Amino acid sequence: MPQTIIAGIGHYVPDHVVTNNDLVKYMDTSDEWIQERTGIKERRYAGRTTETTSTMGVQAATIALENAGITKDDVDFIIFATLSPDYYFPGCGVLLQRAMKMNEIGALDIRNQCSGFVYALSVADQFIKTGMYKNILLVCSEKHSFGLDFSTRGRNISVIFGDGAAAVVLQPTTENNRGILSTHLHSDGSSAELLAMFNPGTHANHWLNEPLADFDEAPMGQMFMSHQMIDKAQNFPNMDGPAVFKKAIVKFPEVIEEALQKNNLTTADLQLLIPHQANLRIAQYVQQKLKLRDDQVFNNIEKYGNTTAASIPIALSEAWQLGKIKKGDLICMAAFGSGFTWGSALMRW
């Protein structure tokens, strides 16, 4: 059976740099608070009308294809992961297919938030291993800046997120001991509401202890999204940060260990861990817990914030560009986020 390799990689971040001090204009926060709690110094915001999640994805995909030495016509399947799509539906996969004038190939959208890249990689791996596809274009992109609460009410969330995109081209190889060794996916929906955006949606308070809006009295046609919901900020993400943090620092080490054990390897074998860039303090905790050296972990959250599905591939692409990844290196990628969903992928570059 072939193994799946990353044959090409690329990332794109918008030019517009937004510092922590820039955010002070909108909300009661400070550079000191943000750096101390998250490690973030700045993030990028997409052009308000000039860039979308899909167009940033196209930029990253174009670089990844060039890096792989193939053209858009060689691609036989598209996977697009995001939580901030251009439209509620259809997904960004088809918008990318259209924008890049690609063949009428399949386009799958993945919505696993922070775990989007790891989930998508796992799906792609199965298609490659079975021989179904030979050139999968996997794109992750987020335009968070369009959907955050920039008032003080939303400051625990809005300061951590940033915009950006990354893409990889996945191909089969028969070279021994190369490519994806294993992927490990998990979920626990019991805490789904701890990090969620409730509307637009069809929930009608069904899962919630406290009603969010009055669905009984709402006129037909105003239940998916109404003025009341907007007034109550339910069109923005909602997060119990400390609860997410506590779960993340347990699940990250667990799922990394799971991948290593599955392959009879240990942390000493690992050249690079690329954790989802949720919060530098989480990554530091995981590093400490697994007793990894500084050179075994790559973080770039200080420059880009948390770019959700795009964070691992942006970091992977940047680490590769910086020469921190060589052929044969053992790389672990791990994510945890909304759902909760979490997962890891172990690969030999």
**Rounded CA separation 229/150 (Å):** 17
Q: Is 328 in the site for ligand UT7 (CB under 6 A)?
A: no
Side-chain half-sphere exposure of 304, counting CA atoms within 13 A: 30
Report the residue number, 67 or 311, with the smaller CB distance to ligand UT7. Answer: 311
Verify binding: residue 241, ligand UT7, rule CB under 6 A: yes
- Given a contact cutoff of 8 angstroms between Cβ atoms, the answer to whether 135 and 171 are in contact is yes
343 makes contact with ligand UT7 (CB under 6 A): no
Query: Of 12, 288, 46, which Cα lies nearest the Cα of 165?
Result: 12
Strand pairing category for 136-142 and 17-19: unpaired
Q: Closer CB to ligand UT7, residue 33 or residue 207?
A: 33
Q: Which of 41, 143, 144, 155 binds ligand UT7 (CB under 6 A)?
A: 155
Residue 23's contacts (CB-CB under 8 Å, 6 or more residues apart) are 29, 34, 150, 158, 159
Considering only CA atoms, which of 290, 286, 349 is closest in space to residue 316?
Answer: 349
> What phi and psi, each to the nearest 5 degrees, are found at residue 259?
-65, -45
Task: State the number of binding residues for ligand UT7 (CB under 6 A).
Answer: 21
> Does residue 140 carry a catalytic annotation?
no
Closer to ligand UT7 at the Cβ: 55 or 158?
158
Among 100, 165, 213, 244, binds ligand UT7 (CB under 6 A): 244
The number of helix segments (H) and strand segments (E) in the chain equals 11, 13
State yes or no: is 92 an active-site residue: no
Residue 20: CB minimum distance to ligand UT7, A: 9
Phi, psi angle pair for 168, to nearest 5°: -135, 150
CA 246 to chain centre: 19
Does residue 227 carry a catalytic annotation?
A: no
Which is it for the CA torsion 32, 38, 39, 40, positive or negative? Answer: negative
Please say which residue, 156 or 238, places its beta carbon nearer to ligand UT7.
156
116-129 and 311-321 are packed helices; what angle lies between their axes, rounded to 10 degrees?
Answer: 80
The interaxial angle of helices 92-99 and 53-68, nearest 10 deg, is: 60
**Scanning residues 20 to 79, which ones bind ligand UT7 (CB under 6 A)?**
29, 33-34, 37-38
The catalytic residue among 11, 140, 276, 299 is 276
- DSSP letters, 197-238, are ---SSS-TTTT-SS--S-TTTSPTT-SSS-HHHHHTTTTS-E
Q: Does 114 bind ligand UT7 (CB under 6 A)?
A: yes
Least separation in angstroms between CB 247 and ligand UT7:
9
Q: Can you tell me which of 75, 181, 248, 330 binds ligand UT7, judged by CB under 6 A? A: 248
Which 171-230 positions form the footprint of ligand UT7 (CB under 6 A)?
A: 195
| Residue of 150, 245, 285, 349 that binds ligand UT7 (CB under 6 A) | 245
Please choose, out of 121-129, 244-252, 255-263, 319-327, the segment that lies near ligand UT7 by the rule CB under 6 A. Answer: 244-252
The span of 92-100, 170-178, 242-250, 293-301 binding ligand UT7 (CB under 6 A) equals: 242-250
Binding mask 290-309 for ligand UT7 (x = CB under 6 A): ----------------x---
Chain residues that interact with ligand UT7, rule: CB under 6 A = 29, 33-34, 37-38, 114, 155-156, 159-160, 195, 241-242, 244-245, 248, 278-279, 282, 306, 337
Tell me the catalytic residues.
114, 276, 306
